[in-house]
Structure 1
Amino acid sequence: MKKGRMLITWYEVKQGDTQAKIAFNHKVRLEALTYENKSNPAFHSYLKPGTFLRIPTDNSYNLSEKDNGCLYEYGWRELENDRLKVGPSIHCEKIGLSVLGKPIWLFRTGTGKKKIFISAAWHGNEWLNTWLLMKFLQEWKKRLSKRKNWFGLNIEELYQNVTLFVVPLVNPDGVELVQEGIYGVNNYQQDILQINEDFKDFRHWSANASGVDLNHQWPADWHEEAASSPGRPFFRHFGGYSPLSEPETKAIHELSMKEGFSHVIALHSQGEEIYWGYQNQEPEESKELANRLAKVSSYRAVKTADSKAGYKDWFIKEFKRPGFTVETGTGQNPLPLEASKRIWITCLPLLLESITFPDFS
């Protein structure tokens, strides 16, 4: 922190603000912002719109994502801004709406016959993978425009041979709850609070706004999985009252049936593992492919997590093609911002390696 007296200004909190976003936007250290607001109780929880904070100046501090990874919470608002910057080599389209009416965006790049699908943030507290996939797309665009190789791969050639489909934020409502608490939600506040037993801390929340776990919604032994899950809307693990009941899963189901992907990767956040099997219905090549992903990422390939009704499970059952659940990061969800660097370094080569897989369609 700069020595001497700092100039202090006042800032009125807006909807969507977090402590890290305010620090980034005002080009100050989060530690400096925290120090100036240490006696303000409103600063030390979710920020309520209309609250005033003290903002110090710190002209000596330069923030760089290149050096520091993800610098603030990445959610649907950030995605709305970044999606406008990915063209023309990356096409963006809305494939559905969440329970609370937020768009679910699909990004598509490439012109090849082989179709690959990568998705993330099925659970609200796993939003760091949304940042990962958007950073991946932005770097893909740069490499393509400059005709530069990436980890030895010719991106221009991949663009011609593959069509890559990416949904970086399957569960925008859940992510918003985790990042902004009840202040980020305009509708269903009482219902959501009731599901959360009136606790206003949502950092543990993984469900959508209806209290349904979107990765327990799929018709792959759904009834068996439902028998061991909560019988009512809950912050995690409740698979709904029937498969594919939620608008978010319906959007992904419709996309998957329409496109018939060669293989799919669903990103989650816990354990640095790669799950590749389901009820022995996966292709025989799946184990070898999972080992390839493990080798380049340092993750561990595991046949099954002994769970059912997940998207990867359904895809394998429905298409008899490879499907992978990739768990990035280790620790408690949501993963801290500092984990973003390790996730980028380990998962980037995994994503690129997956694009080189054979066409199973």
Structure 2
Amino acid sequence: MINTEINSYENLYYGMWEAAGRYSNFIQFRIIGKSHDDRLIPMIEMGQGDLCIFCLGGLSGRDRNMPWHLLKMIQEYAKYWECGWKLEELYDVRELLQKWKICFVPLLNPDGYEIYNKGFQAVRNPIYRQMLKMQGVPCTDFFCNGRGVDLKENFPTSYYRRKQIYQQPASENETKALVSVFQEYPGRGLLSFGYSEKRIIYFKQPGSFRTNQKCYRLARHMQKLGAFSVEKWKAAREMPSVQKESGTGSPEQFFSELCKNPAFRIEIPEREEYTEGDLEREYREIHTLPLEFLFSL
């Protein structure tokens, strides 16, 4: 069972803050924005290089364990850096992160995360709280942010399609925060973690055969670490009409279009109930993927 008191937004926030305090010579803690319910969105910068990659989690309120896996990744990489060890006897963390920087955003959607764990009473704004209750969606099925918007479809990509006439891309505080970070840093890659099937989805750039081939090659490198399937993302306009989704404004596609560099959605199956052993096995499936990505660039 997941202990929602231990796995709270506040504990995740302070876990990141403590890691930056302990390893201040190569980790920086910063706030990239606020949610609509006034929760801070923290980010960790790890490494000393000028170029960076991004590791993103917590897009959906239902991504209950993924933010904690990314925090554990931060802590594990920091320990191996400090001790000068090789992770899995292969990845020299210190050597890689002297040349590169990894920007971790474990929880982009803190409002949705708290709603999933604690119910709609976790929303402090009474207008938003009542609005969400009126949608009739149980909190355990809730995947949007504090205003009821799906962040996975809110980014201003060339494939963005409005569900309703009043909706606009990048309307949400969380979206704006991540867009600002992507624009600020010289990002060379994005790994976005979540739950679904066990697969790595790579996002293409229209008219860029060379970059798309590079994306496929990197996906195949990471595939070997956990027996993932590899899939190419297809925009709604490329799907049969019965399969078309109403919105395709994903952060991965936005990053791919903005930075002209590889972006991946990494998904693993979710269990109904978890033991400590389940959580550890789940973490082991993904914990070296950022290092393999850097190693393969």
- Class of the TM-score when normalised by the shorter of the 2 chains: 0.7 to 0.9
The answer to whether the 8 Å contact 1:216/1:222 transfers is no
Q: Which residue of 2 aligns with 1:323?
A: 263
* More deviation, 335-344/256-265: 335-344
* More deviation, 304-313/113-122: 304-313
| Residue 159 (str. 1) matches residue 97 (str. 2) | yes
Q: Which residue of 1 aligns with 2:231?
A: 302
Give 1:177-256 correspondences, 5 Å limit: 177-187=115-125, 188-195=128-135, 197=136, 201-224=138-161, 226=162, 229=163, 231=164, 241-256=167-182
- Structure 2 CA distance for aligned equivalents of residues 309 and 168 of structure 1: 20
1:320 is displaced (CA, Å) by 1.9
Change in CA separation of 1:223 and 1:95 when aligned onto 2, cut-off 3 Å: closer
Q: Which residue of 2 aligns with 1:286?
A: 215
Q: Which residue of 1 aligns with 2:82?
A: 145
- Structure 2 CA distance for aligned equivalents of residues 357 and 208 of structure 1: 34
Q: TM-score, normalised by structure 2?
A: 0.86
Q: Which residue of 1 aligns with 2:10?
A: 77
Which of the two has higher C-alpha Rg?
1
SS of residue paired to 2:283: helix
The answer to whether the 8 Å contact 1:75/1:172 transfers is no
- Structure 2 CA distance for aligned equivalents of residues 311 and 84 of structure 1: 25
- Structure 2 CA distance for aligned equivalents of residues 218 and 136 of structure 1: 26
- Structure 1 CA distance for aligned equivalents of residues 110 and 207 of structure 2: 31
Structure 1: unaligned runs, 5 residues or longer? 1-17, 23-71, 233-239
Change in CA separation of 1:273 and 1:19 when aligned onto 2, cut-off 3 Å: closer
* More deviation, 205-214/86-95: 86-95
Give the residue type in structure 2 aligned to 1:270.
Answer: S
- Structure 2 CA distance for aligned equivalents of residues 356 and 93 of structure 1: 26
Alignment length (residue pairs): 275
Q: Deviations over 1:277-336 (max 9, x none)?
A: 33645612110100111111211110115452111111112222111011122456xx74
SS of residue paired to 2:141: coil
Q: Which residue of 2 aligns with 1:67?
A: none
Give the residue type in structure 1 aligned to 2:39.
Answer: K
1:19 is displaced (CA, Å) by 7.7
The answer to whether the 8 Å contact 1:270/1:331 transfers is no
Percent identity between matched residues is: 23
Q: Which residue of 1 aligns with 2:292?
A: 353
Give the residue type in structure 2 aligned to 1:323.
Answer: A
Q: Which has the higher contact order (CA 8 A, sep 6+)?
A: 2
1:85 is displaced (CA, Å) by 1.7
Let me know the Cα RMSD of the aligned residues.
2.2
Change in CA separation of 1:149 and 1:99 when aligned onto 2, cut-off 3 Å: same
